[in-house]
A and B are shown apart, each in its own frame.
Chain A
Amino acid sequence: MPSSTFIDHSSYRDSHIREILNNVNSIAMVGASATWNRPSNFVMKYLLQKGYKVIPVNPNTKEKEICGEKVFGDLASISGTVDMVDMFRPEHEAHELVEDAIKIGAKVFWMQLEIFNNNAAQLAEKAGLQVVMNRCPKIEYARLFGELGWGGINTGVISNSRRRLK
């Protein structure tokens, strides 16, 4: 594979993230917590509100559902399509999860804030997946689609076109 297929993971272009968030529909969230005040639960609830299908993956929880969605023990057990895998797990688990993500035909492998794994990223990219590391899809969605600035946050987005109301 030519090295140009590997993107620079230290700073993503907004267009890269925007394209991913516009194109995926179903997101398998590995490490989704059933406890409502955990960060993963915040993200899951928010993405559901934004119209994504979010499939919680958590082998440890006793709950059958999280945010009203059926919980799966691993990626391989999910019956429907998975466009993106969002990983709320320690970085050493990334490699195995990428292997599973490739098997189930996911198009995007996303690692949450503070999670980096370059080997896993290269494995995913070689298989044709798009990769995002050290970002949160909730924050990125809010940042790129006009809500994060409501909290006084520097979004870096400069636009002079009229944003379409969703």
Chain B
Amino acid sequence: MKKLHPQYGFNTLAVHAGTAPDPTTGARCFPIYQTSSYVFDDADHAASLFNLQAPGFIYSRLSNPTVAALEEKLATLEGGRGGTVTSSGHAAETLALFPLMAPGMEVIVANKLYGGTINLMGKSYRKFGWSAVFVDADNPEDFHRAVTEKTRAIFVENLANPGGVVIDLEAIAKVANEAGVPLVVDNTMATPYLSQPFEWGADIVVHSTTKFLSGQGNALGGVVIDSGKFAWLGNSKYPSLSEPSPEYNGLTFAETFGDLAYTMYSHAISLRDLGCSQSPMNAWITLNGIETLPLRIERHCSNALAVAQFLEKHPNVEWVSHAGLRSSPYYELGKKYLPAGTGSVFTFGVKGGYESGIKMLEMVELFSHVANLGDTHSLILHPASTTHRQLSEEQLIEAGAGAEVIRLSVGIECLEDLIADLDQALNSLYRSSN
């Protein structure tokens, strides 16, 4: 794994990055700056801030100290140059593409994604005049074939929803590089503890911080992290960054801010205008969550793999899709890209199809039936009837969310309790289907 800091390792940075003691009070826990606005020193200071001549705070829609601390922590953990935190993971996806896209332009999108993202990109983006071109997530050659003059970005999930799918990031990054467009990677399911997409050539990383990063299902949020490596300056494909910006008196972001340009733009234009900023309270919850990310992810991963191994042997289970199992077609990719663990979200097929799938949800006691993942609690979901239900039958199968599919997000409870719960649910299912 890439060295994130000249001196300190990942676990140290998870605790310390971005959250130095408060200079005013010495508070050790980072303060919640629950304020909408900030007093200017004088008219000249205010002008400097509005002209982007000096760092500082104007209004919390653009930036906020607690939110900024979260941005720095996440940018550090991904090995990026800067971060922009948003109100949700969905907002992060749109914010990531906002500096890149324009009406008539295309984004190439892997077809194995969270169902909500398929809807957002496939349907709602049409209202902006943005076209999403869906390609086979398992086939880098398919990405290559989809590149046109109008392509402005490639978007994939690293460890893809609804589970068990590992993307060949290095190969797709090569396609993006050859096409001269940034690769945007959703790293929500892996987290930077398991995978750092910049190491494989990604240019921008997004997360739903709602999931493993905050970790307890208590704070919505998202983030966009820029590697600082993409050459925007003089690149006519990306006029938002490479041409004078009329709203900032002809300032050119790529020239004035160099490798900070994308992050500066994301605050000064994207957040300012789209308004999808995160609340300081949610940022604070997420900051605290990240401090324990390494410990939680280790337990999530070991529990999930053991549960997957148990399910694989259960007579009422048709198949299990977990990249840590030797039976998985993604086993080798998992070893390459996620050597420390392949996450805790995966799918399996119950015998008996749709009806069995629904019944399974009613039989479990420890698993919560919710539309979330990456919680300390173990979660269970039937994608075809919930998160992916707006999709067509063909899309469901492409997305790995067919009628018999159950998705688990395995929590950090006692492993034997989780296995016992799934065992009794599967066994009663069998009896009831007889």
Q: How far is the CB of B96 from chain A (nearest CB, A)?
A: 14
A151 and B63 contact, CB distance less than 8 A: yes
> Which positions 15-37 of chain A face chain B at CB distance < 8 Å?
36-37
The residue on B at minimum CB distance from A41 is B53
B20 touches A160 (CB 8 A): yes
A46 touches B53 (CB 8 A): yes
**CB <8 Å contact, B72 and A153:** yes
State how many angstroms separate the Cβ of B311 from the closest Cβ of chain A: 40
Q: Does B187 contact A (CB under 8 A)?
A: no
Which range holds the interface residue count of chain B? Answer: 35 or more
Q: How far is the CB of A63 from chain B (nearest CB, A)?
A: 18
Distance A159 CA – B72 CA, assembled complex (angstroms): 14
Instruction: Establish whether residues A42 and B23, one from each chain, have CB atoms under 8 Å apart when the complex forms.
Output: no
Interface residue B159 (Cβ < 8 Å from any Cβ of A): no
Residues of B within 8 A of A139 (CB): 258, 260
Which residues B47-74 have CB closer than 8 A to chain A? 48, 51-57, 63, 65, 67-69, 71-72
Q: Give the distance to chain A from B203, nearest Cβ to Cβ, in Å.
A: 15
Interface string of B253-266 (1 = CB under 8 A from A): 00110101001100
A152 touches B250 (CB 8 A): no
Q: Which residues of the partner chain B approach A159 to less than 8 Å between Cβ atoms?
A: 20-21
Q: A80 interface residue, CB < 8 Å from B?
A: no
> What's the Cα separation between A36 and B22 when bound, in Å?
34
Q: 1/0 contact trace for B137-150 toward A, CB 8 Å?
A: 00000000000000
Instruction: Judge whether B249 and A37 touch: CB under 8 Å.
Output: yes
Contact status of A149 and B54, CB under 8 A, knowing A154-B81, A158-B5, A158-B8? no
Provide the bound-state CA to CA distance between A39 and B254, in Å.
Answer: 11
Residues of A within 8 A of B82 (CB): 151-154
List, in ascending order, chain B residues with CB within 8 A of A150's CB: 55-57, 63, 65, 68
Pair B21/A152 contact, Cβ less than 8 Å:
no
Hey, which bits of chain A sit against chain B, CB under 8 A?
A: 11, 36-37, 39, 42, 45-46, 49, 113-114, 136, 139, 142, 146-165
Which 4 A-B pairs have CB atoms at the shortest separation, nearest pair first?
Answer: A152-B71, A154-B75, A147-B55, A163-B23
